[in-house]
Structure 1
Amino acid sequence: MGEVASAFGGIARETVVEPFKSFICKVASRCNLDCDYCYVYHHADQSWREQPQRMSLDTAAQLGRRINEHAVAHGLARVDFILHGGEPLMLGVDYLRALCETVTRHTPDVRIRWNGQTNGTEFTDEVLKFCEDWDVCFGLSLDGPRAANDRHRVDHAGRSSFDQAERALRMLSGERGRPHWGGVLAVIDLESDPLETYAYLRGFQPPSIDFLLPLGHHDMRPPGKETSLTGTPYADWLLAIFEVWYQERPQPIRIRRFRDVIGLYLGATRSSEEWGLQPVDFIVVESNGEIQAVDTLKVTYPGACRLGMDVFGHSFDDALASPMVRARQENWRTLGETCRRCDVVRICGGGYFPQRYSREGGFQNISVYCADLMKLIRVVTGTVRQDLAALPRQAGRRAR
């Protein structure tokens, strides 16, 4: 624990913390795809090999008790339970129904809102019926049209996953599926045309699209950043989409990255995990019941997200008191001096935590995407500022 605590810097113990409202539960520890950028299977931490292939119902029952205990202690009426993995749908609908029943039976004092994340390959009519019965909302991981998707998202024999994923996309975008569709997660590939990618996904009218920066850090630089961190290829990719999206009226699709930047610029205090300085209010539970910090830390070093706790011997309040969780609750104190002095830090939050890591500097470096974030924020907020400045002139013309 000493190595982990030192990597996260000194954490003051008196700061008020925010309870967990979302529980990312690794109900499956295996996946039928072999995506080459996956933070679980292809990076520094390989602890998935130690995990049971699925969460047992005994573990689910104890997890439910701990969630209920935490909700009661903090006055939470509702929490999110995210079916995660691995690929949760590999476990079959019968198991998922039994898991939901078990957790619900042991959470009598809190309402569970069911969510999940899937690669879509196992999404069937039977799964959709499960979603209807339990009011489950699934996000779909898909990087774009066939060429974009198949560069990275193949199975263990190297075969395309596109046809199955697009089948899920069509089901979720249909009349029955739409109430149970959380949106699309798409990892940015600089080889893909941004407007083609956006046009393809937009054609299905997802409720949201989250374009993700590939996970990387200073010791493992992402594509396009290998030789220099001063270029802005990811900002340029995203801004090509922003120019189209921003002019769409109305805007039926939430692109989370743009909405977060605009919201924080206009004074919002909440955003998704990658932006802003608000406390992180979720926790990860592995299939064996181990309680862990944010799982994307697996790209940094072995054991980076381990708290040394599990649902059998520890409460979620115990997890709140751990140095790694406190680091995410006190984001300002974990920033390096460069970030503290920056005029956009309230929006970028110093960059996503794992993307700030190096063996030498821990998490107090600038993000490997700092230049991209700076350009994206300045262009997006500059566009919004110009629109806001034009409002009084437009109102005056209408009044005349």
Structure 2
Amino acid sequence: MGDVAGRPAAVTGAEPFRSFICKVASRCNLDCDYCYVYRHADQSWRAQPQRMSLATAAQLGRRINEHAVAHGLAQVDFVLHGGEPLLLGVDYLRALCQAVTRHAPDVRIRWNGQTNGTALTEEVLDFCQEWDVTFGLSVDGPRAVNDRHRRDHAGRSSFDEVARALELFGGERGRPYWGGVLAVIDLAADPLECYSYLRSFGPPSIDFLLPLGHHDLRPPGKEHSLTGTPYADWLLEIFQVWYRERPQPLRIRRFRDIIALYLGATRSSEEWGLQAVDFIVVETDGEIQAVDTLKVTYPGACRLGLDIFRHDFDAALASPLVRARQESWRALGETCRRCEVVRVCGGGYFPQRYSRRGGFQNTSVYCADLMKLIRTVTGTVLADLREVSRPPTERPAR
């Protein structure tokens, strides 16, 4: 398959935004201990309105329409995000969608959202059906895993409500509106137990997330050394089962991205590869910000000094922080540029490269894990490709 190293093609121009992550609610009814919005360095959520006003939603629609027309985009994604968007209630969500759509007549809006599931009801599914909204569900695993990190502000379990959401999304009515599962990895949890539990509900995909951390805020299991590979080992237990399942019952985005990029794909999810990032964040007050996970690094890390009332989205495309994500090769340090797997890992997720001393030009705090994960997954794929390319008479008997 050849080496995956090498400098990518030069960026010829800014990539327009095709996805708008919109913080329609700035508060959440859960107090997850790893949350990048409420539990880390940037606490700007405290000054945000609790919900996006309909006037702000209308202006957002105008700016999205303007951007789509300027760049010839027929369709964009609008992500209902927070906080917890379902806290707004379905009547307000309908009014918000109407306000955006009314002021974006020249572009088709594909509605998505992310929810913790605690407020999911049959009425919410009515809204999803009416507006063709697909929601991702944040859930880490069975009760013991969930309750270790995902409790409410009084310290109470959220599991019963989340289990109800899994049943609703996994049922016949909810399945068309289920985008999949986001699950943060807990090293104390059994990986195969988590996979088996989540898989039992039939989600279309699972994305197992590395806890957000960086060199100055090391994640669990990496406090004393960055050379170990506990997260790769955890994920590879699942990979060895998932990869051999035929037919594969669901997508695991992390594995699919590694395989696709290794085989020559140029696009993947945000955490992988060297493609230009094509999304932007809008806060409840209309402020335009860079990727919100930067909130784990330092106060104001997401700030661009822009808002939808005074600026268009092309102004965000021209901002240095967004350009750094678009011209991802230039943002890498020398170690990453020389690495054999850089086309796959992209140098690691941007926030996870941060330190006060080196900025974002460090290797990822998960570098050793990424290296082992990529080499093992791609090595497995390569061995299979070599096997199927051999004449049948040369293949070992099974």
TM-score bucket (shorter structure): over 0.9
Q: Residue 5 of structure 1 corresponds to which residue in structure 2?
A: none
| Counterparts of 1:182 and 1:14, CA distance in 2 | 31
Q: Residue 374 of structure 2 corresponds to which residue in structure 1?
A: 377
| Counterparts of 1:70 and 1:236, CA distance in 2 | 43
TM superposition shift of 1:395: 4.5
| Counterparts of 2:169 and 2:82, CA distance in 1 | 20
| Counterparts of 2:340 and 2:383, CA distance in 1 | 19
Q: Which one of 12, 18, 22 corresponds to residue 19 of structure 2?
A: 22
Distance 1:314 1:392, change over 3 A: same
Structure 2, unaligned stretches of length 5 or more?
A: 1-9
Q: Residue 142 in 1 paired to residue 127 in 2?
A: no
Q: Residue 306 in 1 paired to residue 326 in 2?
A: no
Q: Which one of 334, 345, 361 corresponds to residue 364 of structure 1?
A: 361
Q: Residue 243 of structure 2 corresponds to which residue in structure 1?
A: 246
**TM-score, normalised by the number of residues in structure 2:** 0.96
| Counterparts of 1:151 and 1:284, CA distance in 2 | 29
Q: Residue 261 of structure 2 corresponds to which residue in structure 1?
A: 264
- Map 1:59-74 onto structure 2 (within 5 A): 59-74=56-71
| Counterparts of 2:110 and 2:171, CA distance in 1 | 22
Q: Aligned AA for 1:335?
A: L
Q: Residue 182 of structure 2 corresponds to which residue in structure 1?
A: 185
Q: Aligned AA for 1:256?
A: R
Q: Residue 234 of structure 2 corresponds to which residue in structure 1?
A: 237
Q: Residue 318 of structure 1 corresponds to which residue in structure 2?
A: 315
| Counterparts of 1:218 and 1:308, CA distance in 2 | 26
Q: Residue 106 of structure 1 corresponds to which residue in structure 2?
A: 103
Per-residue Cα deviation, 1:79-117 (whole angstroms, up to 9, x for no partner)? 000000000000100000000011010010000000000
Task: After the TM superposition, list the runs of 4 or more consecutive aligned residues in structure 1 that deviate by more than 6 angstroms.
Answer: none
Q: When the two structures are aligned, how many residues end up with a matched partner?
A: 386
- Map 1:37-186 onto structure 2 (within 5 A): 37-186=34-183
Q: Aligned AA for 2:176?
A: P
- SS at the partner of 1:112? strand
Q: Aligned AA for 2:56?
A: T
Per-residue Cα deviation, 1:115-170 (whole angstroms, up to 9, x for no partner)? 00000000001000000000000000000000001100000000000110110111
| Counterparts of 1:390 and 1:14, CA distance in 2 | 37
TM superposition shift of 1:65: 0.1
TM superposition shift of 1:252: 2.3
| Counterparts of 2:392 and 2:378, CA distance in 1 | 22
Distance 1:376 1:47, change over 3 A: same
Q: Residue 7 of structure 2 corresponds to which residue in structure 1?
A: none
Q: Residue 212 in 1 paired to residue 220 in 2?
A: no
TM superposition shift of 1:14: 8.3
- SS at the partner of 1:333? coil
Q: Residue 383 of structure 2 corresponds to which residue in structure 1?
A: 386
Q: Residue 284 of structure 1 corresponds to which residue in structure 2?
A: 281
TM superposition shift of 1:205: 1.2
| Counterparts of 1:102 and 1:312, CA distance in 2 | 15
- SS at the partner of 1:247? coil
- SS at the partner of 2:166? helix
| Counterparts of 1:52 and 1:384, CA distance in 2 | 49
Give me the CA root mean square deviation: 1.1
TM superposition shift of 1:392: 2.1
Q: Percent identity?
A: 81
Per-residue Cα deviation, 1:193-230 (whole angstroms, up to 9, x for no partner)? 00000000010111000000000000000000000000
Structure 1, unaligned stretches of length 5 or more?
A: 1-12
| Counterparts of 1:309 and 1:292, CA distance in 2 | 7
TM superposition shift of 1:286: 0.1
- SS at the partner of 1:332? coil
